[in-house]
Amino acid sequence: MTVDISTRGNAAVAHLSGEVDLERSPGVRRALLDALGRRMPLVVDLSQVSYIDSSGIASLVEAYQTARKQSTPFILCAVSAAALRVMQLARLDKVFDIRPTLDDALAAV
Amino acid sequence: MMASVLPDPTLLAHLRVAATPASLRMIRRVVREAALLAGAPEPWADDLMLAVDEACQNVVRHAYAGQPGDLCITLSRTPDGDGVAVEILDFAPTVDPSQVRGRDLDDVRPGGLGVHLIEALCEEAGFAAAPEGAGNLFRMVKRFANAAPQR
C-alpha cells in the first residue's frame, strides 16, 4: 500500500510509504486528489518514503495546485531525506508548505 | 555497447528489460549496486540511481509511449576511473532531442522535472548516435569529483 489516508481532527492525513515511482505514483495522485475532493485540509506524511522520482513529485505538485485552487490547506510533513533531496533539486522545498513533524502540520491546518 | 567476446574491464553491469514502469524498480537496484561496486559513496549511488530512473522513464513514457519494447542499460567505469558512464538504448522511433528539455523551475507545474533532475545530477547527459537497427541512445556520465558528502 503506497498511500494510507486517515482523519485527524478536521484534517485528512495521507501517509506515503516506500518507493513512489512511475509504477506507483498514479495511485498516489488519485488518492491525494480524492482526499482533496472531501475539501478537508490535507497533510501528507513523507517520513516513510524511501524513494521518490519526478512522477511522484508531480503528483504532489498537482495536489498542491488543486488545493490552492479550492483554498484547502495542503501541508507536507516529516519529509524523509530521500524525498527532501529530490524536492531541493527541483527547487520545490521553497514552494511547498513543509513542517518538521505531523503534529506541527496538524497544528498549522 | 555491442556484445563482444572480449572482456570489457570497465563493464559494471549490462541489463536488458521490458520498457515498463514495473521494470524501473529492478533497474534502480542494479544501478545502485553497480555504483557501489565502482566505489561510489551511498548518496552518490542514490543520485545516479535517480538520474538513470528518470532517463529510463523518458524512454517508457515518451520514446515507446505505451508501446511494448526493450530497454538496454550498460553501466561502466569511465576510462579514467573517475566516475560511471551509463548508456540507455531503446528500439523505439527516433526522438527529436530538441523536444526533450526541462521546464523552467519557476514555472511550478506537475511535469517536466525529469530532464532537469538528470542534468542536475550528471556532468554529462545527452543523445548519441544509436547503432544501426536501434532507436535512441542516451548517454550519461556522473563523476566522483562532485560526490556529495555522506548524509
Q: Tell me if ipTM is over 0.90.
A: yes
pLDDT tier at B151 (50, 70, 90 boundaries)? very low
Closest residue, chain A, to B114 (C-alpha): A54
Q: How many CA atoms lie within 13 A of B3 on its CB side?
A: 4
Identify whether the C-beta of residue A63 lies closer than 8 Å to the C-beta of residue A33.
yes
> Can you give the pLDDT at residue B150?
47
In which element (H, E) is residue A47 found? Answer: strand A42-52
pLDDT in tens, A20-49: 999 999 999 999 999 999 999 999 999 999
* Best CA proximity match to A75, nearest among A109, A103, A47: A109
| Cβ contact A90–B61 (<8 Å) | no
Asked if A50 has any chain B CB less than 8 Å from its own CB, the reply is: no
Distance from CA of A78 to the nearest CA of B (A): 17
Per residue in B70-102, pLDDT tens?
A: 999 999 999 999 999 999 999 999 988 777 666
* CA-based nearest residue to B49, from B81, B72, B74, B27: B27
User: N- to C-terminal Cα distance for chain A?
Assistant: 26
Out of B21, B113, B120, name the one closest to residue A58 (CB). Answer: B113
First to last CA, chain B: 34
Residues B42, B147: Cα–Cα separation, whole Å = 10
H or E element, residue B44: helix B42-58
Instruction: Say whether pLDDT at A7 is over 50.
Output: yes
pLDDT band (50, 70, 90) for residue B19? very high
pLDDT of residue B101: 66
CB spacing of A61 vs B57 below 8 angstroms? no
Determine which helix (DSSP H) or strand (DSSP E) holds A19, and give its type and residue range: strand A11-20
CB contact (8 A) between residue A89 and residue B120: yes
CA B124/CA B126 separation, integer angstroms: 7
| Cβ neighbours of A95 in B, within 8 Å | 108
A109 to chain B, closest Cα gap in Å: 23
Q: What is the pLDDT of residue A82?
A: 97
Inform me whether the pLDDT recorded for B28 exceeds 50. yes
Rounded (10°) angle between helices B42-58 and B24-37: 140
- The position carrying cell 522535472 is B113
User: pLDDT class for B145, splitting at 50, 70, 90?
Assistant: confident
User: What average pLDDT is seen over chain B?
Assistant: 90
Q: What is the mean pLDDT of residues B126-147?
A: 92
CA atoms of A88 and A24, how far apart (whole Å) = 22
Residue pair B53/B17 in contact by the 8 Å Cβ criterion: no
Q: H or E element: which one contains B29?
A: helix B24-37
Longest Cα–Cα distance of chain B, Å, equals: 50
Query: What pLDDT, on the 0 to 100 scale, is given for residue B59?
Result: 95
3-state helix, strand, coil split of chain A in percent (to 5) is 40, 30, 30
Given B22, B46, B105, which is nearest A90 (Cβ)?
B105
B1: pLDDT strictly greater than 60: no
* Chain-chain contact of B113 with A90 (C-beta, under 8 angstroms): yes
Other residues' Cβ atoms within 10 Å of the Cβ of residue B150: 8
Phi then psi dihedrals of residue B77, to 5 deg = -70, 145
Q: Does position B4 have pLDDT exceeding 70, yes or no? A: no
